[in-house]
Amino acid sequence: MPLTPLAARYDQFILDLDGCVWVGGEPTPGAVEALEELRAAGKQVAFATNNAFDSGEDLVAQLWKIGVRASLSDVVTVGGAMQHMLAETHTGRTAFVIGTSSMFRHVGDAGLKVLNATDLASRAEVVVVAGTTDLRYDDLRNAIQAVLRGADLLATARDPTYPQPDGPWPGTGSILAAVEYGSGRTAEIVGKPEPQLFLTALDRLGDGATLVVGDRIGSDLAAASAAGLDAALVFSDGTDRAELDSFEPQPVGVAETLAELLTRR
Ligand SMILES: [Mg+2]
């Protein structure tokens, strides 16, 4: 399977995971073979994800499981980006975290004291919101009270949903909306559509013509544009096709799947 003319034009690729490489851990049709073709043609590949559920190690293991070779340096996670940002700007402070155990670790590793299990949770100086499937009313109460008392509000992303085999599941943005609505404050976002994830990936890949591929216009295409990179769009359940007409800059390529975008059959 040769590469498409579009794929041949670029030296390196930054790929979104959910809805692009896989959906719910199952590869999108032909994705594994297409990635093999890219690498056989000498192209560099990095993965950049707003997924805050899993650690970088988890994602590397999931990539190997579907047959894609990857190392920790190939995967840029929003949890890693959050840790980096907190370490630079908020270390030594107290935090309340909505997220998975992976996000709790990142916040702790950045040098913040996590107050979740204490009586002081609603008095934290920083509130971090990330995706989780284990949300409780008390989490929203503590987060909203802390922000109303003046805590900084940071979130990994604003994605309303993420694709799963049975349809979209509520993402970080759905949880964040409750905290923002209750507190009347707007969070600072670390993941896409901010450019930082792609800039970190670029840092690891090095110089070369770079193409970003993702399935979300408001996050992947917007972040690529903010980072000054070309982007292509593939479609998943969560792609808002109507949004594409009015989006600027238009993607350099559009295809139903990652494999269709990269390889000719
Ligand atoms: Mg995606």
Distance from residue 7's CA to the centre of ligand 1 (Å): 19
Give pLDDT tens digits for 58-78. 999 999 999 999 999 999 999
> Of 238, 246, 265, 263, which is closest to residue 31 (Cα–Cα)?
263
All domains of the chain in start order, with CATH: 5-50+192-262 (3.40.50.1000), 79-189 (3.40.50.1000)
d(CA 183, CA 37) in angstroms, rounded, equals 49
Distance from residue 19's CA to the centre of ligand 1 (Å): 5
Q: What is the mean pLDDT of residues 50-55?
A: 89
Distance from residue 122's CA to the centre of ligand 1 (Å): 32
Give pLDDT tens digits for 95-153. 999 999 999 999 999 999 999 999 999 999 999 999 999 999 999 999 999 999 999 99
Q: What is the mean pLDDT of residues 211-232?
A: 97
Predicted TM-score (pTM) of this structure:
0.87
**For the packed helices 78-89 and 101-109, what is the interaxial angle rounded to 10 degrees?**
30
Give pLDDT tens digits for 224-261. 999 999 999 999 988 888 999 999 999 999 999 999 99
Distance from residue 214's CA to the centre of ligand 1 (Å): 6
Token pair listed for 100 = 């998975």
Virtual torsion, Cα 172, 154, 247, 249, nearest 10 deg: -130
44-48, 160-164, 219-223: least confident range: 160-164
**Predicted confidence band at 265 (pLDDT cuts at 50, 70, 90)?**
confident
Q: What is the mean pLDDT of residues 78-102?
A: 94
pLDDT at 238: 80
pLDDT at 163: 85
Token pair listed for 109 = 């590793």
**Predicted confidence band at 53 (pLDDT cuts at 50, 70, 90)?**
confident
Distance from residue 18's CA to the centre of ligand 1 (Å): 4
Task: Say if residue 249 is preceded by a cis peptide, omega within 30 of 0.
Answer: yes
Give pLDDT tens digits for 142-179. 999 999 999 999 999 998 998 888 999 999 999 999 99
Distance from residue 17's CA to the centre of ligand 1 (Å): 6
Residues with CB under 5 A from ligand 1 (ion): 16, 18-19, 215
Distance from residue 13's CA to the centre of ligand 1 (Å): 15
